[in-house]
């Protein structure tokens, strides 16, 4: 009796999994062989000493072409101007070499002529000698031109601010002195001041240096001690003093702009309530005094803004 034949085994590879239409086997993608460049570099890398193989750059490099690009870029970087970071053990020559790379050529700094700070229009005139000292200082510090510009602007700004604060201080002191002598002399203020100025004019006509000294400083020209000194001279001199035409309203420096403005301010402060009063509400004596104050004020403004 013949035997029934067993069904034959499938001819697919043992590890192949049927897939796709009809249960066929999808062929695997052929493995891409590395290029000769990459395989050559890999062989080159494997033959390097261990200390070089540990280098991250060499590990991340995949071909001789990439290695060549890195070498070219490194050469370009070495050819450009680079500064070494200062070291704690640097000597004077090392610092000189370092600063020489920061300073302009031949230490020729350009002096800025425009500034951005408030009040720049009041910047003082700086002499060539002072500018040279500033340039020498900047060179010693190893500043570049940009740093020099910032330092110079800051210096000029501080000069302007210092001048402003000084003027405000002088004005406040002059006002304080005028108020002090006005309170001390009381109702005799105008008379005493006129006599002090008469003595002052007589003395300075013979001693011009005295006028230059007093009027060079508004604080001195309006100091109570100076005013009282010349008032005392007028008292002891009596009629021996020559008659003078100058009779400023306040202090001895009143013929200059600062003095005239100070005199107007003082006049307004001492008579503010009287000036602001309605004349019709005042007595005849008060009206007369008010008119005298206004006339004196107008005379001072005439000195401040003389007609052409």
- Residue 122: the pLDDT is 84
d(CA 285, CA 269): 20
> Which of 273, 255, 266 lies closest to 297 in space, CA to CA?
266
How is residue 90 written in tokens? 């640097």
pTM: 0.47
d(CA 173, CA 167): 10
> Which of 169, 170, 163, 162 lies closest to 253 in space, CA to CA?
170
Report yes or no: 239 and 282 within 8 Å, Cβ to Cβ. Answer: no
- Residue 5: the pLDDT is 45
**Which of the given ranges, 13-22, 172-181, 266-275, has the highest pLDDT on average?**
172-181
The CA-CA-CA angle for residues 206, 212, 217, to 5°, reads 140
- Residue 168: the pLDDT is 92
How is residue 238 written in tokens? 């009596």
Count CA atoms closer than 13 A to 274's CA, side-chain side.
17
Mean pLDDT over 199-206 rounds to 87
Quick one: what percent of the chain has pLDDT higher than 70?
Answer: 69
How is residue 24 written in tokens? 């066929």
* Predicted confidence (pLDDT) at residue 74 exceeds the cutoff of 80: no
What confidence tier does 307 reach under pLDDT thresholds 50, 70, 90? low
**For residues 173 and 42, which has the higher predicted lDDT (pLDDT)?**
173
**Which of the given ranges, 123-132, 222-231, 269-278, has the highest pLDDT on average?**
222-231
pLDDT tens digits along 75-124: 665 555 565 676 677 777 766 666 666 677 766 788 888 888 888 888 88
SS3 per-residue string spanning the chain: CCCCCCCCCCCCCCCCCCCCHHHCCCCCCCCCCCCHHHHHHHHHHHCCCHHHHCCHHHHHCCCHHHHHHHHHHHHHHHHCCCCCCCCCCCCHHHHHHHHHCCCCHHHCCCCCCCCCCCCHHHCCCCCHHHHHHHHHHHHHHCCCHHHHHHHHHHHHHHHHHHHHHHHHHHHHHHHHHHHHHHHHHHHHHHHHHHHHHHHHHHHHHHCHHHHHHHHCCHHHHCCHHHHHHHHHHHHHHHHHCCCCCCCCCCCCCCCCHHHHHHHHHHHHHHCHHHHHCCHHHCCHHHHHHHHHHHHHHHHHHHHHCCCC
* Predicted confidence (pLDDT) at residue 21 exceeds the cutoff of 60: no
* Predicted confidence (pLDDT) at residue 250 exceeds the cutoff of 60: no
């Amino acid at each position: 009796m013949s035997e029934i034949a067993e069904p034959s085994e499938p001819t697919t590879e043992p590890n192949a999994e049927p897939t796709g239409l009809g249960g066929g086997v999808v062929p695997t993608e052929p493995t891409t062989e590395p290029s000769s460049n990459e395989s050559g570099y890999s062989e080159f890398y494997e033959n390097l000493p261990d200390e070089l193989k540990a280098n991250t750059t060499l590990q991340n490099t995949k071909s001789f072409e990439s290695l060549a690009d890195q070498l070219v870029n490194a050469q370009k970087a070495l050819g450009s101007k680079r500064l070494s970071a200062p070291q704690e053990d640097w000597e004077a020559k090392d610092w000189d070499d370092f600063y020489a790379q920061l300073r302009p050529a031949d230490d020729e700094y350009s002096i800025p002529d425009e500034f951005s700070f408030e009040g720049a229009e009041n910047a003082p005139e700086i002499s060539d000698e002072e500018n040279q000292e500033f340039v020498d200082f900047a060179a010693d510090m190893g500043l570049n031109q940009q740093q020099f510009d910032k330092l110079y602007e800051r210096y000029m700004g501080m000069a302007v601010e210092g001048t402003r604060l000084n003027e405000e201080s002088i004005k406040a002191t002059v006002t304080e002195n005028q108020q002090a002598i006005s309170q001390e002399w009381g109702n005799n203020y105008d008379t005493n001041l006129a006599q002090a100025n008469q003595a002052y004019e007589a003395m300075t006509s013979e001693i011009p240096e005295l006028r230059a000294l007093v009027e060079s400083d508004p604080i001195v020209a309006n100091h109570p001690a100076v005013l009282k000194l010349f008032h005392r001279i007028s008292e002891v001199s009596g009629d021996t003093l020559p008659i003078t035409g100058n009779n400023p309203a306040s202090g001895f420096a009143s013929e200059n702009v600062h003095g005239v403005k100070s005199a107007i301010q003082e006049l307004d402060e001492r008579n503010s309530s009287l000036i602001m009063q309605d004349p019709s509400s005042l007595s005849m004596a008060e009206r007369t005094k008010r008119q005298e104050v206004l006339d004196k004020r107008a005379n001072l403004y005439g000195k401040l803004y003389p007609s052409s």
